[in-house]
Chain A
Amino acid sequence: MGFTPLPGSAPKKVSAKIVVAGGFGVGKTTLVGSVSEIPPVNTEAIMTQASVPHDDLSRTPDKQTTTVAMDFGRITIAQDLILYLFGTPGQARFWFMWEDLTRGAIGAVIIVDTRRLEDSFQAIDYFEKYTDLPFLIAVNHFEGVPMHPVEDIRNALDLDDDVPVVVFDARDRRQSAGVLAKLVEYTMNFNADPALSR
């Protein structure tokens, strides 16, 4: 990709990112925690709030910084291939960060809790309107909660027919990995078929 390594440079590596979104308490931290190989899951990053509209860090490198707690995980696919998971911060005041979080991502998993579907509306809206990223809906099935038919959930969320809806338990590492796999699979189809693109 146009990058000429220096002599004696480090072995080539590649990274990728999946964004994990959804309302507060739907299971973002749980999903990231169940598949990530690194603790702590909840990391604090200092973001420069001014970076959205008219930022010039070379002039004022430390203006308006804010500490954002976000879920952050890592999965080493191979020595040279690392997958990162970034959970979106829940608070509305951190919306400025979403562009940074989604830029370059291979796709997004939006988690919903069927007891409060509306909590994930904002996230779905964001991905539909402001990004070209493929996303899927992962229904975190909480124990003891009656399971709604997937079609009902799809209708309630007013999703396009091609958006996958999967049911999983975010506490289960294998199921969480399965959701991520499903997203990557969907991404590959999505990228290959422009008709699927919104």
Chain B
Amino acid sequence: MIPTPPPGASRRVRSYALTLGRTRPSLPLLLETLVTAVDPGPGGLAGMTPEQRNIYLACTESRSVTEIATTVQLPIGVVRVLISDLAQQGKVEIHRTVGSGPQADTELLERILHGLHAIAG
């Protein structure tokens, strides 16, 4: 049996299409998705809005969408759109996530398990 999607699930996808559709990101920007600033190229940071520049500077070391949003003090929804724009311009890289359910990467789960066991002792 096909599981019933949670209420609002279909609208959710449409909401993403609306906010990020214009940049068509290859990966969804979840709260935990890591973003890393890359070499901005010859143009440097010129041409970025102050908000984009703040976001860029907030992820010179890889940071999650949530961490970036709290650093720059902008709503997470807005930060998602701006990160997406920066990604399309090649200024930041969006990393993948381990994934949920059947799509989850078992090998990565295994590594997380070992890491947690190491802390648990």
Contacts and interface: CB of A to CB of B under 8 A. Distances in A.
Contacts of B7: 130
A16 interface: yes
B49 to A, nearest CB: 12
A75 B115 contact: yes
A16 B34 CA distance: 9
A16 B38 contact: no
A135 interface: no
B113 A15 contact: no
Interface residues of A, number: 70
Given A55-B18, A191-B106, A174 B121 contact: yes
Given A6-B93, A180-B116, A181-B120, A82 B18 contact: no
A162 to B, nearest CB: 16
B78 A81 contact: no
Interface of A: 1-6, 8-10, 12-17, 35, 43-48, 51-58, 61-62, 65, 72, 74-75, 77-78, 81-84, 86, 99-101, 103-106, 130-133, 173-175, 177-178, 180-181, 184-185, 187-188, 191-192, 194, 197-198
Given A8-B38, A8-B39, 6 more contacts: A14-B34, A16-B97, A104-B30, A105-B100, A132-B101, A192-B106
